[in-house]
Amino acid sequence: MAISRLIIEHFRNLTAVDLEFDHGFNFLVGNNGSGKTSLLESIFYLGHGRSFKSSVTTRIINYDQPHFTLHGRIQEQQHQWSVGLQKLRQGNTIVKINGEDGNKIADLAHLLPMQIITPEGLTLLNGGPSYRRAFLDWGLFHHQPAFHSAWSNLHRLLKQRNAALQQTYDYEHLTVWDDELAKVAHQVSLWRAEYAQALSPEIEQTCCRFLPELEIHVSFHQGWEKETDYSEILRKNFERDKAIGYTMSGPQKADFRFKANGLPVEDVLSRGQLKLLMCALRLAQGEHLMAQKNRHCIFLIDDFASELDETKRALLAERLQRSDSQVFVTAISPDQLYQMQPERYRTFCVNNGIITQSN
Ligand SMILES: Nc1ncnc2c1ncn2[C@@H]1O[C@H](COP(=O)(O)OP(=O)(O)O)[C@@H](O)[C@H]1O
Ligand SMILES: [Mg+2]
């Protein structure tokens, strides 16, 4: 899986960009504010229909324009797709795959598995559980074909239940929703638990290389008491849920926690160690997809050098090179990239929204 060409119009300060990328490494070098992160953000947007930086999409559209447009050519082995995404200031999103309308963001996301590593991405470890659920669910989205519709169902049912909670004093009125909700909740939790278990050895191995000084332990928490039927929890907690106005326990509270030498990583690790652990998780997840499904994901690495000393940069560089994936790396100057010596690469200079290939 690789993006061989990308055309960008009016995405932040990238008003007109047309680039051919290497299927190996692509280095983006430029000063602060030149547009490096915006380029990664545009690739991420094409694969997710949202940004990793702003939740308000209109802020991403170039200040003077009514919309932004992204066109990509994607290649995976012998197959090729042309994909397009346009976002209008009024809010509409148009997705095209091979010229056909009516596609969904999820179709793009299936085509473009990607992992992002940014300085802000430490929230995976020191932010709330939703970041870690998103991490697990990324894996399930790509590994388990039925996951996406079960997940959407789960959220729809929870929303309906929370609305119904406001309107009834009798639990029996909720049992119709709850029977269905419990079924989906068990299924989603089972998939998450299985995936977490399958991924754990890969995470632990990668951590051994990146953070040999620490013993990292991972654990999955489903969001309600272990070994308990979720229907019982819903029934038991009805009064409490009603009082607070939403369903307090369940898969919407699941977490995937990390401990170092028995203590929560966010409490004891340095920022550099947290960054390495985050890199280890994302690499392990990408490589697990490769091992299980023979699909390469794209790695987006923003500000490669930040927080990492020379040895750790070298470790990350070596691992990315071995992944045999398409990688995009940003840096302020070329000397921050000297540990990266891939066989195949292109370097791009980013200057005030203009991007030119320099080798
Ligand atoms: N909607 C927008 N329209 C035009 N320019 C924008 C918009 N949003 C941000 N910018 C500008 O785009 C530039 C690119 O930022 P960024 O990609 O984060 O730079 P870098 O990662 O190279 O430091 C910044 O100067 C920022 O002010
Ligand atoms: Mg940046």
Probe target for ligand 1 pocket from 10, 13, 17, 34, with the most ligand atoms within 8 Å of CB: 13
- In tens, the pLDDT along 17-34 reads 999 999 999 999 999 999
* Mean of per-residue pLDDT scores for the chain: 95
- Ligand 2 centre to CA of 206 (Å) is 27
- Distance (Å, whole) CA 255 – CA 253: 7
**Nearest CA to 195 among 251, 257, 132, 140?**
140
**Nearest CA to 34 among 353, 348, 356, 302?**
353
Distances in Å between the alpha carbon of 205 and those of 162, 170, 284? 41, 51, 9
302 and 330 Cβ atoms separated by less than 8 Å: yes
- In tens, the pLDDT along 20-72 reads 999 999 999 999 999 999 999 999 999 999 999 998 989 999 998 999 999 99
**If you take atom 8 of ligand 1, which residue's CA is the nearest one?**
12
- Distance (Å, whole) CA 277 – CA 290: 20
Q: Which ligand lies nearest the alpha carbon of 58?
A: 1
Show the beta-strand stretches assigned E in the chain. 2-11, 14-20, 25-29, 67-76, 79-88, 93-97, 114-117, 216-221, 255-260, 263-264, 298-301, 327-331, 345-351, 354-357
* C-alpha torsion sign, points 184, 188, 189, 190: positive
Task: Identify residue 10 by its one-letter amino acid code.
Answer: H
- Ligand 1 centre to CA of 33 (Å) is 6
Distances in Å between the alpha carbon of 200 and those of 86, 137, 165? 38, 15, 37
pLDDT at 103: 86
What tokens does 144 get? 């388990």
What's the whole-number mean pLDDT along residues 99-104?
Answer: 88
pLDDT at 189: 98
185 and 251 Cβ atoms separated by less than 8 Å: yes
DSSP-assigned letters across all residues of 138-175 = HHHHHH-TTHHHHHHHHHHHHHHHHHHHHH-S-GGGGH
- Ligand 2 centre to CA of 123 (Å) is 17
**If you take atom 7 of ligand 1, which residue's CA is the nearest one?**
12
pLDDT at 145: 95
Of the chain, the percentage scoring pLDDT greater than 90 comes to 94
What's the whole-number mean pLDDT along residues 279-291?
Answer: 97
pLDDT at 177: 87
What is the pTM (predicted TM-score) of this model?
Answer: 0.96
* Pairing relationship of beta strands 114-117 and 298-301 according to DSSP bridges: parallel
pLDDT at 213: 94
pLDDT at 91: 86
pLDDT at 32: 97
Of the chain, the percentage scoring pLDDT greater than 70 comes to 100
Counting atoms of ligand 1 from 1, which one is nearest the CA of 39?
17
pLDDT at 3: 98
**If you take atom 27 of ligand 1, which residue's CA is the nearest one?**
33
Indicate the domain borders of the chain: 122-284
- Asked whether residue 359 carries a pLDDT value surpassing 80, the answer given is no
Edge to edge, the sheet with strand 263-264 lists 216-221, 255-260, 263-264
- Ligand 2 centre to CA of 34 (Å) is 8
- Burial classification of residue 291, based on how many CB atoms lie within 10 Å of its CB (0-12 exposed, 13-18 middle, 19 or more buried): exposed
- In tens, the pLDDT along 256-267 reads 999 999 999 999
Probe target for ligand 1 pocket from 15, 36, 37, 38, with the most ligand atoms within 8 Å of CB: 38
Instruction: Name the helix (H) or strand (E) containing 321.
Output: helix 310-322
What tokens does 1 get? 């899986």
- Ligand 1 centre to CA of 46 (Å) is 18
- Ligand 1 centre to CA of 90 (Å) is 21
pLDDT at 102: 83
- In tens, the pLDDT along 329-340 reads 999 999 999 999
**Nearest CA to 1 among 97, 113, 142?**
113
- Asked whether residue 166 carries a pLDDT value surpassing 80, the answer given is yes
**Beta bridge mates, 94:** 86
- Distance (Å, whole) CA 183 – CA 185: 5
Ligand 1 binding residues, C-beta < 6 A:
12-13, 30, 32-38, 59-63, 350
- Ligand 2 is an ion; residues with CB less than 5 A from it: 37
**If you take atom 14 of ligand 1, which residue's CA is the nearest one?**
35
Domain at 122-284, CATH homologous superfamily: RecF/RecN/SMC, N-terminal domain (1.20.1050.90)
What tokens does 341 get? 């010596």
Q: Which ligand lies nearest the alpha carbon of 355?
A: 1
